[in-house]
């Protein structure tokens, strides 16, 4: 009866399997989707392991360090690092033993009960630094009260109650141990591998799927087959070896397949009582096919062994995959948008609430988004569909049709295009070099030239609200011209303690993914006057003549923000204080690191202005010494460092749209200061998840490529 239930339960066809695509792009997307499912189910929070104790010795020619590792989730547990004699910055393998493996046997500190139990010692003798630790899932609970029940199972149940999993906890520790290994002075952090046997192979597989390093080589022994065979037919599956919920998405072979094209070796024995040879063979075929489709090699050894490891094959695999030029450290991308698992769950809960209620747009999530945003804008806000919608609505409310709007010549196309869509003629103004804002003198000249100016539209470039804004506001005030701030870069930035967006009649913000706060797509208008805010609400909703009315009195649009976007936006705004602090801290670190690097000068944020560091800007000096495009290419190709996009590489007056006849082009030019800035600045990668090691790498790369 029970076996019948078990079999029926486990016949679920993994849903993601069928969406696996034959195209390369499809495969990559599929693997990424599977990794994100694994991350969500494993719920590993990124929290480093602390090494609280180290005792070093040399025995039998191996350097040995006994460590105490402190895990935030599971507390302290012992680990052992082994190193071959004389190694400096050598390749290293994290060795994860099976469920009943004992640390002192893995490392050869006591004689192993099987000749392949001391894998860590074998690999150390083969030339690899190894780190192993005790899983700590047995041997602590009161035997009498356990009444014969398994400790691992009891632990797994407790984890399940908290929405976490035992496997997730083990994987979290393995990822922490990888960081410990990478930071060890004897280890080359670019050459790391993972070995796992049985339960340890399950941990290693999931760690490989979740490790931020690219293409981590994995050798997995005695852990292959279908979940159905392991859990229903053989009853050898262990609760610490699979993620609760995984079968809805993937079987074991799909998880190995998602590692392609990373180096992979699988070993299984035909005399292993924990698996069925035919079932393991079928899983092996699935993995082989996936690697073949990705054009990548995979090593699969079917061996005449029991539930063991062929240590020779493992050592050879790592010798090949961690050879001198292997690099597993990841590149530093221009941009990284990261939501931790708990934040992703919060988004999903809110999306779920929206779907359950049927309110999919302009409901409670949007209201909450507007409320959270208020903390950073200083005035009331109304959410809209995008930053450009925000600009267009503000300009339509002020009324610019048939008149001139003055825009800085150095800004994103959307600033000017929104004015064009609102019916205005756009004219350009040069910038001032300190705060990168509109130059007040150039503005005054432009106002003289264009007495029909309806709006002045300053932009806070890179997240800096320029102190020159005060003079800009004064000129506009004198002539009675309203100011709309394009604060798309500047959410959370301030000038003299006042938030960006609170200086003009309107402040327009964007929550596009590249900006400092994101909602997928989204925008926001801040304004002090209640009537202005009310007008925004009508424009964004097809020009309603009044709340609740079906009559329309203006050509409004669909400029609403959906509840689903607001679900993302609210989660991002709830963490925004941390985002801002993290950006500022990283900017400060770049300032210090770059102080003695010749050929580059960080852009100094003027006194009184508190940037959100949407961009970390620096000038290549002296002007013209170096061409930016080849520099960026060398940084990327030789050092794996991608710079962020400039703000901006082309002036607006040079875009084909504006150089066409009848458009302003360079008419109010020559815009020398903006042109000099556009040509000679770069933007370094800066985001909250950028690590100190990555910043060091960026600066080292610059140092070696600058003249
Ligand atoms: C991003 C951006 C916009 C437009 O925002 P969207 O949300 O993409 O419409 C407008 N102005 C500037 C300066 C921007 O950087």
Closest residue CA from atom 7 of ligand 1: 387
What's residue 329's pLDDT? 56
The β-bridge partners of 682 are 618
Q: Tell me the best of 417, 487, 488 to mutate to test the pocket of ligand 1, counting ligand atoms within 8 Å of each CB and taking the most.
A: 488
**pLDDT band with cut points at 50, 70 and 90 for residue 342:** confident
What's residue 138's pLDDT? 78
**Residue partners of 662: CB distance under 8 A and separation at least 6:** none
The β-bridge partners of 272 are none
Kindly tell me if the per-residue pLDDT of 280 is higher than 90.
yes
Residue pair 289/204 in contact (Cβ under 8 Å)? The answer is: no
Q: What is the Å distance from ligand 1's center to 373 Cα? A: 17
Residue pair 487/509 in contact (Cβ under 8 Å)? The answer is: yes
**Residue partners of 511: CB distance under 8 A and separation at least 6:** 387, 517, 518, 519, 520, 521, 522, 523, 524, 565, 569, 572
Tell me the pLDDT tens digit for each residue of 42-90: 998 767 889 998 999 999 899 999 999 998 777 899 999 999 988 888 9
| Cα–Cα distance measured from residue 582 to residue 688, given in angstroms and rounded to the nearest whole number | 5
| Cα–Cα distance measured from residue 458 to residue 431, given in angstroms and rounded to the nearest whole number | 10
Q: CA 80, 85, 89 angle in degrees (round to 5)?
A: 80
What's residue 20's pLDDT? 57
End-to-end C-alpha distance for the chain, whole angstroms: 77
CA proximity to 476, closest of 490, 496, 456: 456
Q: What is the Å distance from ligand 1's center to 652 Cα? A: 14
CA proximity to 11, closest of 227, 237, 164: 227
| Cα–Cα distance measured from residue 223 to residue 697, given in angstroms and rounded to the nearest whole number | 37
Q: Tell me the best of 422, 512, 525, 557 to mutate to test the pocket of ligand 1, counting ligand atoms within 8 Å of each CB and taking the most.
A: 512
What's residue 37's pLDDT? 92
Q: Please state the rounded mean pLDDT for residues 350-363.
A: 96
CA proximity to 647, closest of 459, 419, 441, 407: 459
Tell me the pLDDT tens digit for each residue of 207-235: 999 998 778 999 999 999 999 999 988 98
Q: Tell me the best of 392, 395, 415 to mutate to test the pocket of ligand 1, counting ligand atoms within 8 Å of each CB and taking the most.
A: 415
Q: What is the Å distance from ligand 1's center to 17 Cα? A: 38
| Cα–Cα distance measured from residue 119 to residue 318, given in angstroms and rounded to the nearest whole number | 13
Q: What is the Å distance from ligand 1's center to 390 Cα? A: 9
What's residue 140's pLDDT? 79
The pair of three-digit structure tokens given for residue 76, joined into one six-digit string: 């302290």
What's residue 562's pLDDT? 98
Tell me the pLDDT tens digit for each residue of 579-623: 999 999 999 999 999 999 999 999 999 999 999 999 999 999 987
Phi-psi region of 133 (alpha: psi -120 to 50; beta: other; left: phi over 0): beta
CA distances from 109 to 65, 94, 117, 145, 172 (A): 12, 17, 11, 33, 26
CA distances from 270 to 274, 275, 308, 495 (A): 10, 8, 11, 71
| Cα–Cα distance measured from residue 12 to residue 582, given in angstroms and rounded to the nearest whole number | 44
| Cα–Cα distance measured from residue 704 to residue 682, given in angstroms and rounded to the nearest whole number | 16
**Residue partners of 510: CB distance under 8 A and separation at least 6:** 386, 387, 388, 390, 488, 522, 523
Residue pair 84/60 in contact (Cβ under 8 Å)? The answer is: no
Ligand 1 nearest atom to the CA of residue 391, by list position: 10
Place of tokens 């050592």: 315
**pLDDT band with cut points at 50, 70 and 90 for residue 707:** confident
CA proximity to 279, closest of 297, 298, 253: 253
Which residue ranges have their beta carbon within 6 Å of ligand 1? 386-388, 411-412, 414-415, 459, 486, 488-489, 510, 512, 523
Q: Please state the rounded mean pLDDT for residues 464-469.
A: 98
| Three-state DSSP state, 404 | strand
Residue pair 298/287 in contact (Cβ under 8 Å)? The answer is: yes
Q: Please state the rounded mean pLDDT for residues 503-528.
A: 98
| Cα–Cα distance measured from residue 442 to residue 610, given in angstroms and rounded to the nearest whole number | 24
**Average pLDDT over the chain, rounded to whole?**
93
What's residue 452's pLDDT? 98
Residue pair 232/191 in contact (Cβ under 8 Å)? The answer is: no
Q: CA 200, 206, 212 angle in degrees (round to 5)?
A: 125
Kindly tell me if the per-residue pLDDT of 127 is higher than 80.
yes
**pLDDT band with cut points at 50, 70 and 90 for residue 6:** confident
Closest residue CA from atom 14 of ligand 1: 488
| Cα–Cα distance measured from residue 221 to residue 589, given in angstroms and rounded to the nearest whole number | 44
Which helix (H) or strand (E) covers residue 62, if one does? strand 62-71
Q: What is the Å distance from ligand 1's center to 488 Cα? A: 5
User: How many Cα neighbours within 13 Å face the side chain of 226?
Assistant: 16
Residue pair 695/583 in contact (Cβ under 8 Å)? The answer is: no
Q: What is the Å distance from ligand 1's center to 412 Cα? A: 7
Ligand 1 nearest atom to the CA of residue 515, by list position: 1
Kindly tell me if the per-residue pLDDT of 29 is higher than 90.
no
| Three-state DSSP state, 210 | helix
Q: Please state the rounded mean pLDDT for residues 414-435.
A: 97
Which helix (H) or strand (E) covers residue 381, if one does? strand 380-384
What's residue 519's pLDDT? 98
What's residue 312's pLDDT? 95
pTM score > 0.75 for this model? yes
Place of tokens 């993290």: 582
Kindly tell me if the per-residue pLDDT of 18 is higher than 60.
no
Residue pair 118/82 in contact (Cβ under 8 Å)? The answer is: no
Q: What is the Å distance from ligand 1's center to 626 Cα? A: 29
What's residue 25's pLDDT? 82
Ligand 1 nearest atom to the CA of residue 459, by list position: 13
| Cα–Cα distance measured from residue 193 to residue 265, given in angstroms and rounded to the nearest whole number | 11
Kindly tell me if the per-residue pLDDT of 328 is higher than 60.
no
What's residue 172's pLDDT? 93
| Cα–Cα distance measured from residue 520 to residue 280, given in angstroms and rounded to the nearest whole number | 42
Residue pair 464/583 in contact (Cβ under 8 Å)? The answer is: no
Out of 410-414, 468-472, 657-661, least confident range: 657-661
| Cα–Cα distance measured from residue 106 to residue 572, given in angstroms and rounded to the nearest whole number | 44
Which helix (H) or strand (E) covers residue 145, if one does? helix 143-146
What DSSP state is assigned to residue 214?
Answer: S
| Cα–Cα distance measured from residue 491 to residue 514, given in angstroms and rounded to the nearest whole number | 12
Could you give the domains of the chain? Answer: 2-321 (3.40.50.1820), 341-575 (3.40.640.10), 577-705 (3.90.1150.10)
User: How many Cα neighbours within 13 Å face the side chain of 285?
Assistant: 7
Kindly tell me if the per-residue pLDDT of 663 is higher than 60.
yes
Residue pair 72/47 in contact (Cβ under 8 Å)? The answer is: yes
Q: Please state the rounded mean pLDDT for residues 498-513.
A: 98
What's residue 151's pLDDT? 86
Tell me the pLDDT tens digit for each residue of 608-620: 999 999 999 999 9
Cα-to-chain-centroid distance, residue 444: 44
| Cα–Cα distance measured from residue 320 to residue 570, given in angstroms and rounded to the nearest whole number | 48
| Cα–Cα distance measured from residue 650 to residue 678, given in angstroms and rounded to the nearest whole number | 7
| Cα–Cα distance measured from residue 500 to residue 458, given in angstroms and rounded to the nearest whole number | 11
Q: Tell me the best of 510, 522, 648 to mutate to test the pocket of ligand 1, counting ligand atoms within 8 Å of each CB and taking the most.
A: 510
């Amino acid at each position: 009866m029970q076996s019948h239930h078990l079999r029926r339960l486990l016949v679920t066809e993994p849903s993601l399997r069928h969406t696996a695509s034959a195209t390369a792009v499809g495969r990559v997307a599929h693997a990424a989707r599977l990794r994100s499912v694994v991350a969500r189910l494993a719920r590993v929070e990124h929290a480093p392991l602390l090494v609280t104790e180290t005792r070093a010795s040399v025995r039998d020619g191996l350097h040995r360090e006994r460590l105490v590792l402190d895990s935030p989730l599971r507390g302290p547990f012992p680990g052992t690092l082994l190193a071959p004699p004389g190694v400096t910055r050598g390749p290293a393998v994290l060795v994860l033993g099976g469920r009943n493996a004992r640390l002192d046997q893995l490392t050869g500190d006591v004689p192993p009960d099987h000749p392949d139990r001391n894998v860590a010692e074998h690999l150390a003798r083969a030339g690899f630094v190894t780190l192993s630790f005790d899983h700590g899932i047995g041997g602590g609970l009161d035997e009498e009260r356990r009444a014969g029940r398994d400790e691992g199972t009891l632990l797994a149940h407790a984890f399940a109650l908290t929405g976490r999993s035992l496997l997730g906890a083990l994987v979290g520790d393995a990822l922490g141990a990888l960081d410990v290994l990478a930071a060890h002075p004897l280890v080359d952090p670019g050459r790391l591998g993972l070995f796992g046997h049985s339960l340890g192979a399950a941990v290693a597989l999931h760690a490989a799927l979740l490790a931020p390093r690219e293409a981590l080589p994995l050798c997995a022994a005695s852990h292959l087959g279908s979940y159905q065979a392991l859990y229903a037919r053989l009853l050898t599956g262990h609760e610490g070896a699979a993620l609760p919920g995984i079968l809805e998405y993937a079987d074991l072979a799909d998880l190995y397949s998602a590692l392609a094209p990373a180096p992979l070796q699988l070993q299984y024995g035909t005399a292993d009582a924990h698996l069925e040879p035919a079932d393991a063979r079928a899983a092996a075929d699935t993995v082989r096919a996936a690697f073949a489709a990705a054009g990548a090699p995979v090593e699969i050894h079917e061996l005449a062994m029991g539930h063991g490891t062929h240590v020779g094959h493992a050592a050879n695999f790592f010798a090949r995959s961690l050879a001198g030029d292997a690099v597993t450290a990841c590149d530093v991308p221009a941009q990284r948008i990261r939501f931790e698992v708990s934040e992703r769950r919060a988004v999903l809960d809110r999306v779920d609430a929206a779907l359950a209620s049927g309110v999919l747009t302009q409901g409670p999530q949007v209201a909450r988004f507007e409320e959270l945003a208020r903390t950073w804008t200083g005035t009331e806000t109304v959410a809209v569909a995008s930053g450009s919608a925000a600009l267009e609505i503000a300009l339509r409310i002020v009324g610019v049709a048939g008149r001139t709007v003055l825009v800085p010549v150095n800004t994103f196309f959307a600033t000017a295009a929104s004015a064009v869509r609102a019916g205005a003629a756009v004219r350009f103004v040069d910038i001032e070099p300190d705060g990168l804002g509109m130059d007040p003198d150039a503005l005054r000249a432009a106002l003289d030239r264009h007495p029909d100016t309806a709006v002045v539209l300053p932009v806070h470039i890179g997240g800096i609200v320029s102190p020159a804004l005060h003079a800009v506001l004064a000129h506009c005030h004198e002539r009675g011209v309203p100011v709309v701030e394009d604060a798309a870069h500047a959410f959370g930035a301030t000038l003299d303690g006042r938030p960006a967006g609170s200086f003009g009649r309107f402040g327009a913000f964007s929550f596009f993914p590249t900006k400092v706060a994101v909602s997928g797509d989204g925008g926001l208008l801040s304004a002090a006057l209640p009537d202005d805010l009310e007008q925004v609400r009508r424009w964004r909703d097809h020009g309603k003549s009044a709340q609740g009315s079906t009559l329309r009195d203006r050509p409004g649009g669909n400029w609403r923000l959906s509840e689903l976007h607001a679900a993302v936006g609210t989660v991002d705004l709830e963490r925004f204080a941390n985002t801002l602090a993290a950006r500022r801290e990283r900017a400060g670190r770049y300032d210090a690191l770059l102080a003695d690097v010749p050929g580059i000068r960080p852009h100094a944020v003027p006194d009184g202005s508190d940037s959100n560091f949407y961009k970390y800007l620096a000038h290549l000096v002296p002007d013209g010494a170096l061409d930016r495009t080849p520099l960026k290419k060398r940084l990327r190709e030789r050092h794996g460092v991608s710079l962020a996009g400039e703000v901006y590489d082309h002036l607006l007056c040079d875009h084909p749209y504006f150089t066409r006849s009848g458009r302003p082009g360079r008419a109010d030019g020559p815009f020398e200061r903006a042109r000099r800035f556009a040509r000679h600045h770069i933007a370094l990668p800066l985001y909250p998840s950028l690590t100190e090691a990555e910043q060091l790498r960026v600066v080292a790369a610059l140092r070696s490529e600058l003249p």
